[in-house]
């Protein structure tokens, strides 16, 4: 689903954010991306989301070759690409002027679904994260963990094949973090590919998933290569 | 890639989305009545000035037209021309296509009218000889200044005619004023159209600023720029249209008030001069111009500002 082949990213100012990064994530695989801040985790996620173009190598996400992502890569195509990917952020990126349900509905509205479909899918997504009862609440009334679960509901409401998460448990206590991870694992079990950036080593090492470690823009360790058994597709 | 979305409901959804955004953007405008009103007022003012000039131009044009229908060319005949000869000249001129009427005034008739009008009968009688020439007054068919000039030149070339007096200078002056007003109206219209675009563009910029977080999220979850721009385009459309509507209302009041003022004047500025409003077509053009301007300006501005938001 995600294939990095000697990918590098140099920003316009000259900062080399990623160098020669190669790894592959198959369908239904869950991998953690670790490293100190500034190691290139966020840049890597931005490349997958086509927020930034790569400057070297080859990157294929969901059968789309993002190496060709340039000015010619139209706005419409980028939008279609992003609809296949669900995103979860550390700061949730919820809109506080509207209800939980309306927040979750945003990707569906952007994709042009009918109001009936939107209502159905929003309720299904909220049900999955255990927040169906909060559909009409405003996000400010929810706890941090609940807000993050709303973020996850929004990420999965469009039934994406890939979920990206950038420090999804960054602001949560260990108990809530474990809860969020359980939700992610449930999506993995139904065939979704997940790439989760996190520096919470204590949390992720115990889970037994693949861990890719970044340092100064390079992969310094990949547990899949080190011999861990991983489902590949 | 999944290509499961089928086309028919997609189009219906697009229509529904347009309808929704049109209403929502109108609601957002009414949510901040003062800021919206001040923007509308500026837009209306910018549209009003060129519209006024164009109204003045067309009113002057039609006044000139009606003035032309009363335009006359007077030929003063040589002193030795007899009534019969003068009648022949009149008939000859009446045969021309550009003349619809002739009136012959003999020297005697002219003297009678003059003395009756001035009361100088005894003085004139003392002269012994009639000092006034006979004259022929021509009514030109449809008189623009070049046609009247042509007719006057032809009449002057006749041997029986001593001198010619035409009213064309008056017509030319009024025409010059009208065309200057028209030119001013059109060029100011262009300049103010640019101004209106900047006003709408600024309103769009402020809306984008205030919805920055929302736009960012929509971009991240796969909303295209055209989806994000949709409500902004309607904002531009509503601003342009309601600004033009306000301008149209003020314009009709101004025309009414100006006419009242004109009628109060003791002298006629120009015979037949009344201000006529722009008419149904004119008002429609004004509204259309406002709407199109608003839409186009919002399109350009939103394209620019939405792209400027980095993720």
B59 vs A126, more confident: A126
**Residues from chain B contacting residue A79 (CB–CB below 8 Å):** 222-225, 227
B43 sits in which H/E element: helix B33-69
Q: Residue B212's closest chain A neighbor by CA?
A: A95
pLDDT for residue A124: 94
pLDDT number for residue A226: 63
Query: Would you say residue A218 has pLDDT above 80?
Result: yes
Which pLDDT tens digit goes with each residue over B215-262? 999 999 989 888 899 999 999 999 999 999 999 999 999 999 888 887
pLDDT digits (tens, 9 = 90+) for B252-300: 999 998 888 877 776 666 666 677 778 888 899 999 999 999 999 999 9
Residue B311 is nearest to which of A51, A85, A158, comparing CB atoms? Answer: A51
Do A31 and A229 form a contact (C-beta atoms < 8 A)? no
For chain A, what is the total number of helices (H) and then of strands (E)?
7, 10
Report the alpha-carbon distance of residue A88 to residue A164 in Å, rounded: 6
Q: Identify the residue with better confidence: B43 or B3.
A: B43
Give residue-wise pLDDT tens across range A47-62.
Answer: 999 888 888 899 999 8
pLDDT, mean of residues B85-95? 87
What's the CA gap between A107 and A87, in Å, rounded?
A: 11
Helix (H) or strand (E) holding A46: helix A41-48
Find, in chain B, the residue whose alpha carbon is nearest to that of A158.
B221
A63-102 tens-digit pLDDT: 888 877 655 567 788 888 999 999 998 888 899 989 999 9
Angle at B244 between CA B241 and CA B246, to 5 degrees: 110
pLDDT tier at B85, thresholds 50, 70, 90: confident
**pLDDT of A164 above 60:** yes
* Mean local confidence (pLDDT), A103-131: 92
CA-CA-CA-CA torsion sign (B281, B282, B287, B293): positive
Structural domains of chain A sorted by starting position, each given as residue range(s) with its CATH number in brackets: 26-53+80-226 (3.40.50.300)
**Contacts with B221 from chain A: Cβ below 8 Å:** 82-83, 87, 106-107, 110, 154, 158
Domains in chain B, start-ordered, CATH in brackets?
A: 18-66+174-307 (no CATH), 72-166 (3.30.70.3040)
Q: How far is A110 from chain B (nearest CA, A)?
A: 5
State how far residue B288 is from chain A, nearest Cα, in angstroms: 30
Q: What is the pLDDT, as a whole number, of residue A70? A: 58
Average pLDDT, chain A: 88
**Longest CA pairwise span in chain B (Å):** 114
What does the pLDDT look like over B105-127, one tens digit per residue? 888 888 888 887 777 777 777 77
ipTM, two decimals, is 0.87
State how far the Cα of A172 lies from the Cα of A149, in Å rounded to an integer.
Answer: 11
Of B10, B13, B220, the CB nearest to A87: B220
d(C-alpha A56, C-alpha A64), whole Å? 16
pLDDT at A142: 92
């Amino acid at each position: 689903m995600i294939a990095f082949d000697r990918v590098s990213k140099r920003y316009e100012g000259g900062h080399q954010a990623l160098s020669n990064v190669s790894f592959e994530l198959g369908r239904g695989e869950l991998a953690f991306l670790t490293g100190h801040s500034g190691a290139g985790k966020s840049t890597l996620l931005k490349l997958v989301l086509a927020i930034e173009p790569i400057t070297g190598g080859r990157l294929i996400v969901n059968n789309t070759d993002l190496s060709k992502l340039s000015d010619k890569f139209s706005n419409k195509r980028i939008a279609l690409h992003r609809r296949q990917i669900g995103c979860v952020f550390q700061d949730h990126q919820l809109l506080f002027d509207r209800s939980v349900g309306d927040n979750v509905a945003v990707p569906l509205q952007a994709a042009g679904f009918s109001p009936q479909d939107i209502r159905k899918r929003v309720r299904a997504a909220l049900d999955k994260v255990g927040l169906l009862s909060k559909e009409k609440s405003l996000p400010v009334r929810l706890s941090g963990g609940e807000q993050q679960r709303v973020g996850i509901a929004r990420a999965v409401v469009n039934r994406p094949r890939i979920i990206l998460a950038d420090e999804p448990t960054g602001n949560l206590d260990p108990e809530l973090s474990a809860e969020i991870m359980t939700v992610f694992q449930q999506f993995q079990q139904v065939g979704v590919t997940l790439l989760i950036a996190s520096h919470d080593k204590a949390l992720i090492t115990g889970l037994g998933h693949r861990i890719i470690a970044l340092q100064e823009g390079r992969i310094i360790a990949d547990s899949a290569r080190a011999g861990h058994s991983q489902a590949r597709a | 890639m999944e290509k499961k979305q089928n086309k028919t409901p997609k189009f219906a959804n697009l229509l529904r989305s347009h309808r929704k955004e049109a209403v929502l953007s109108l609601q957002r405008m009414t949510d901040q009545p003062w800021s919206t009103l001040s923007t509308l007022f500026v837009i209306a003012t910018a549209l009003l000035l060129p519209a006024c000039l164009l109204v003045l131009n067309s009113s002057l044009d039609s006044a000139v037209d009606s003035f032309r229908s009363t335009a006359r060319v007077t030929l003063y005949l040589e002193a030795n021309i007899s009534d019969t000869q003068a009648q022949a000249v009149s008939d000859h001129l009446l045969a021309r296509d550009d003349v619809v009427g002739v009136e012959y005034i003999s020297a005697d008739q002219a003297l009678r009218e003059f003395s009756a009008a001035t009361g100088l009968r005894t003085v004139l009688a003392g002269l012994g000889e009639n000092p006034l020439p006979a004259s022929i007054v021509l009514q030109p068919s449809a008189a623009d200044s070049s046609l009247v000039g042509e007719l006057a030149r032809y009449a002057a070339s006749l041997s029986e005619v001593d001198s010619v007096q035409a009213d064309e200078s008056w017509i030319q002056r009024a025409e010059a004023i009208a065309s200057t007003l028209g030119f001013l109206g059109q060029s100011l219209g262009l300049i103010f159209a640019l101004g209106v675009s900047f006003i709408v563009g600024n309103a769009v910029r402020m809306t984008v600023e205030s919805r920055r977080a929302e736009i960012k999220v929509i971009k991240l979850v796969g909303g295209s720029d055209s989806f994000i721009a949709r409500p902004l385009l309607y904002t531009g459309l509503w601003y342009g249209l309601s600004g033009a509507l306000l301008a149209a209302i003020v314009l009709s009041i101004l025309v009414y008030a100006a006419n009242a003022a004109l009628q109060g004047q003791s002298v006629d500025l120009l015979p037949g001069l009344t201000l006529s409003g722009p008419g149904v077509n004119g008002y429609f053009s004004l509204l259309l111009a406002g709407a199109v301007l608003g839409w186009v300006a919002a399109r350009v501005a939103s394209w620019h500002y939405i792209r400027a938001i980095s993720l």
